[in-house]
Amino acid sequence: MNPLNIGNISAKLPIVQGGMGVAISLSGLASAVANAGGIGVISAVAIGMTEPDYMKNYREANKRALQKEIRKARSLTKGILGVNLMVAVTDYEDLLTVSLEEKIDVIILGAGLPLKMPKYVLEKGFDNIHTKFIPKVSSAKAAKLIFSYWAKNYNYIPDAIIVEGPMAGGHLGFKKNNLISESEVLSDIIESTVNEINYFEKEFEKEIPVIAGGGIYTGKDIYSIMQKGAKGVKMGSRFVTTHECDASIKFKETYINSKQEDIIIIDSPVGLPGRAIRNKFIDQIYSGNAKPFKCYWKCLKSCDSKNVPYCIAQALHNAAQGNMEEGFAFAGSKAYKATKIQSVPDLITELRIDYYRVKYLEYLKDLIGDNFIPEKFSLPDILPNILKIRLT
Ligand SMILES: Cc1cc2nc3c(=O)[nH]c(=O)nc-3n(C[C@H](O)[C@H](O)[C@H](O)COP(=O)(O)O)c2cc1C
């Protein structure tokens, strides 16, 4: 696997761990992934829920908790760390500023188009900021819009771009009817985004890695999407079932106990579809039996808090803490494949072995030709064949 280079920052492995809220990817998971050579990402959304004064003092609690988690993660690793930030949250500028002040290595900006930049960035200038900016999009069109806006208004373009396809976990940037299960979709969006970005790369003489996310679960998935032009992958669900993931064991067990048919698309109160594991809480909501709740503050710009059946931030935080009766787990389309909880280093080794297995099988197929049937070959069979070919 090649390293993932984003400007002057280089991760040994081209694996970005998806930021997962609320309080699912904090300093524990992020530092473990960074130590393993990938990019470990802290999720900033409603992170202040881990603080006792969140209900009264949400803005301060969010800023304080994010600063604490970044510092804690930094104390645990010398690797590459990121923050995942949703443009759709009402304290977006505050959280972005905290992340930049803390000199986080990368910032991923999703759930909305990151066009406007806070005062901190405008005053300091992009070139004087350590952090690399990575918008997350679901189409080449959205990528073009962001790049054109930044080029025109800031004379600067993002340092990398994440393209997330329709098979991802969490909120999705697609209309519900477009959430079809064709595996080609992500690769198509990757190819068109690579083409779109190419113009800006030339114009700014800057390499912009395209990173693919959504439904990437195995080393084979990583290898396949990289053949389409992705320079890295973003994986969320696969990291949930690790010891280091910051969620409760009960949350992780919902992944292990889930079946393919349990992974469903829900209408999230924020006005976007989301992919989650069906449970009693979700069934209650759909049967109109939601409990009344109080919104302490409007944390998401698009949430119609007076008319939605539940608070999504609270439900996700409850689940992260193991209270699955009053919450549910977001999950990607392949989350049901989880069979065990393992350490991050073991998971990375598994991914690498699978990646190289697929890569070399392809190499051998190329070398040996149509006679090569992987299932029929063992290493002692393959070696003489290679030698024969080499000799002729
Ligand atoms: C449990 C869970 C929580 C997530 N929370 C967030 C979030 O708060 N903000 C966000 O931008 N993306 C969120 N995501 C999306 C991930 O960052 C990542 O893009 C996604 O998981 C990739 O798809 P995969 O799960 O199939 O690998 C979440 C995903 C999961 C599975």
Q: Over the stretch 336-369, which tens digit does the pLDDT of each residue have?
A: 999 999 999 999 999 999 999 898 888 877 877 7
Neighbours of 169 (CB within 10 A): 29
**DSSP symbol at 300:** B
CATH number at residue 33: 3.20.20.70
The domain containing residue 144 runs over which residues? 4-247
Number of the ligand 1 atom closest to the C-alpha atom of 215: 26
By the 10 Å C-beta count (0-12 exposed, 13-18 middle, 19+ buried), 69 is classed as buried
Query: For position 123, what pLDDT does the model report?
Result: 92
CA 153 to chain centroid: 27
DSSP codes of every residue in 17-81: EPP-TTTTSSHHHHHHHHHTTSEEEEE-TTGGGGSTTTTTSHHHHHHHHHHHHHHHHHHH-SSEE
Residues 371 and 222 in one domain: no
- Domain boundary pick from 213, 247, 281: 247
The two three-digit tokens of residue 53, written as one number: 């004064």
Give kind and range of the element (H or E) at residue 16.
strand 15-17
Would residue 320 count as lying in a domain? no
C-beta separation of 133 from 7 below 8 A: no
Where helices occur in 288-343 by DSSP H, the ranges are: 312-320
Would residue 139 count as lying in a domain? yes
* Residue with tokens 């909305």, as numbered in its chain: 112
Domain count, the chain: 2
Cα 21 to averaged position of ligand 1 atoms, centre (Å): 7
Query: For position 385, what pLDDT does the model report?
Result: 57
- Give the residue from 108, 197, 208, 213 showing the smallest Cα distance to 164: 213
Which protein residues are within 6 Å of ligand 1, measured from CB? 18-21, 24, 43, 45, 84, 86, 110-111, 164, 167-170, 213-216, 234-238, 329-332, 334
From 15, 16, 17, 20, mutation site for ligand 1 pocket: most ligand atoms within 8 A of C-beta: 20
C-beta separation of 165 from 213 below 8 A: yes
Would residue 346 count as lying in a domain? no
Residues 373 and 231 in one domain: no
What is the bridge-based pairing of β-strands 273-277 and 263-267? antiparallel
Q: pTM for the whole thing? A: 0.93
pLDDT in tens, 278-333: 999 999 988 888 787 888 777 888 778 778 888 899 999 999 999 999 999 999 99
Where helices occur in 321-375 by DSSP H, the ranges are: 344-368
